[in-house]
Amino acid sequence: MSVTFGIVGSGWRSEFFLRIAAAMPERFTVTGLVTRSADTAADIERRWGVRGHADLDGLLAAGTPDFVVVSVPRDVAPGVIVELVDRGVPVLTETPPAGTLDDLVALWERVQRPGAPTVQVAEQYHLSPLLSAQLAVAHSGRLGRPTQALVAQCHDYHGVSVIRRALGIGADDAEVTASVFRSPLVAGPGRAGDPTEERIVTATQTTARFTFGDRLGVYDFAGEQYFSWIRGNRLLVRGERGEIENTEVRWLRRFDEPVFGSLRRVMTGEGGNLEGMFLRGILLGDEWVFRNPFLPARINDDEIAIARMLDGMPRAIAGEAPVYSLAEASQDHYLALLMQHAAETGNTLRSTRQPWADIVDDELHARAVSG
């Protein structure tokens, strides 16, 4: 049965959802898209076969989607989310769900009420194939209890989300320190494509430490990493019995018996393989630590992650496991805001419990129980 959804917004991120639906029409259907521009609406219909609408009235009158994806700027998103919730429509909103802490709290108070439609947030990183595999290894018992995580592959709340997931952190109290370092870097490609000339840009790298009692998260990221050919991503997770460093895993089977393994991507379409072009999954030795649920669709890792969110929404709406809840998103963005403030001021900051903290802790416990 196909998952149906509408979209509010026509920016760069909206096209990810459109591409996924076009690649797997048997699984996903876009019922329409809201955009203020008539020219953009015409272009969307020409390129994707999706009808554009000027407002929510038009979108919802054209059909009843399972939910609506909100893909608009963070200062606009809360108003759209509230309007959809007031109309009884479940929401999957892009990150972050609101801008400031006050905005987060205000949104939470408006939509977190008994009987209100489900609001989930489109945080895809922990659902991407490699990170999914790495996090599965981190919580497989091989490393013991994860106590340290270094994340250098995504910005702000995305990086914080990976840190919390890697360490098994809920809404635990955090002590936050941060600093900024700027350095020259040869510009790489961007959203518009490959560079056409050599150009030096200034890379702004934020490094932060999140101390959660006896667990430590380190954030280290510059926005240029997203497209740079010469600034790679890194993930390090350590426990008392082992560690995972990018694709290398080292652990102790016994105190005197070390084991070494590597994560291996299993791709089709390489060499003489004629199966198509898709990711089959990721192996650690002979164990599948990630299996692609959407093969043989020809989609990239980020699109696999986003498709997993879309696919999980009906279950979240039914009250089963959340995709990535408004509570989690609010906590991650709150910690990211503390990090930004610590970097600007040089002060050590401490988190306080926010209105969503109990739900974050409950969801962490539920994930631990379900494995």
| pLDDT of res. 165 | 97
Q: What would the two tokens of residue 110 be?
A: 């408006």
CATH architecture for residues 129-295:
2-Layer Sandwich (3.30)
pLDDT the model gives residue 368: 84
pLDDT of residue 310: 97
Superfamily of domain 3-122: NAD(P)-binding Rossmann-like Domain (3.40.50.720)
Look at residue 370 in the predicted model and tell me its pLDDT: 77
Query: Along the 371 residues of the chain, how does pLDDT read in single tens digits?
Result: 789 999 999 988 999 999 999 999 999 999 999 999 999 999 999 999 999 999 999 999 988 999 999 999 999 999 999 999 999 999 999 999 999 999 999 999 999 988 899 999 999 999 999 999 999 999 999 999 999 999 999 999 999 999 999 999 999 999 999 999 999 999 989 888 899 999 999 999 999 999 999 999 999 999 889 889 999 899 999 999 999 999 999 999 999 999 999 999 999 998 888 888 999 999 999 999 999 999 999 999 999 999 999 999 999 999 999 999 999 999 999 999 999 999 999 999 999 999 999 999 999 999 888 76
**pLDDT for 294:** 97
Look up the pTM and report it.
0.94
pLDDT at 191: 85
* Sequence-distant (≥ 6) Cβ neighbours of residue 271 within 8 angstroms: none
Residues of the chain with CATH 3.40.50.720: 3-122
Every domain of the chain with CATH number 3.30.360 lies at 129-295
pLDDT at 113: 87
